[in-house]
Amino acid sequence: NDTYAYIPELKGRRYDPVKAKQLLKEAGYPNGFKTTIINRAGSDTQPLVAASTFLKEVGIEAPIENADVGRFVTLTQQGWKNGLVNRSFRVPPDWLQFAYTYVSPATTESKSMTRPANLQDLFEKALAAPDMVSKKKGAQAVIQSIYDDAMVVPAWAAVQGGAKHPYVRNFEYHFPWGANKLWSP
């Protein structure tokens, strides 16, 4: 909730295995299906184990595949088939620019991700906003579209922390999205 794109009224999705099974049946998968959770090797897998377990409870078999960095980048930039990709997003100084580079239809990232038909138009309108009020409204429209289409499903969040002595200076450079907003204009 530290970004102008945050929508306070937007509630996260609850884990509801009964509804998930119903939706799978309606989609033509009454017995579930198999897929893969693609993870960048070296990333924490504990949350993915939980996600894989929850998916299995509703009939979706989703083992975790740890891809080395080269393969992970290739998959995200050239495309993947039948898989869920674990991506880490952060809150940079300009959320809209960052989100555009990762999920807009025009980006080279996340090639196989499905996107709402109107997403590029929403991004362009928000990016062209003449003031912060319009930019906030536009960014929230992007978030709402992503949410409505279940294009990105946030599964967990983490907080980065650090400790320092009072005499250490410019420590924020080790946390580029920190107080000094290193890359912010």
Query: Cβ(53)–Cβ(63) under 8 Å?
Result: no
The whole-number average pLDDT for the span 39-52 is: 89
Rounded to a whole number, what is the distance in angstroms from the first to the last CA of the chain?
21
The rounded distance, in Å, linking the Cα atoms of 14 and 11 is 9
- Check pLDDT > 90 for residue 122: yes
The pLDDT of residue 102: 85
The helix (H) or strand (E) run that includes residue 51 is: helix 46-57
Percent of residues, the chain, with pLDDT higher than 90: 47
Query: Cβ(126)–Cβ(96) under 8 Å?
Result: yes
- Residue 183 pLDDT grade (very low, low, confident, very high; cuts 50, 70, 90): very low
- Check pLDDT > 80 for residue 1: no
Global pTM value: 0.77
DSSP string, 107-134: SSSSTT----TTHHHHHHHHHT-SSHHH
* Tokens coding 35: 């897929």
The pLDDT of residue 87: 83
Segments of the chain assigned E as strands: 33-34, 36-40, 60-61, 64-67, 83-85
Query: Closest Cα partner for 43 from 91, 87, 109?
Result: 87
- Residue 112 pLDDT grade (very low, low, confident, very high; cuts 50, 70, 90): confident
pLDDT tens sequence across 125-182 = 999 999 999 999 999 999 999 999 988 877 766 666 666 778 776 655 555 444 444 4
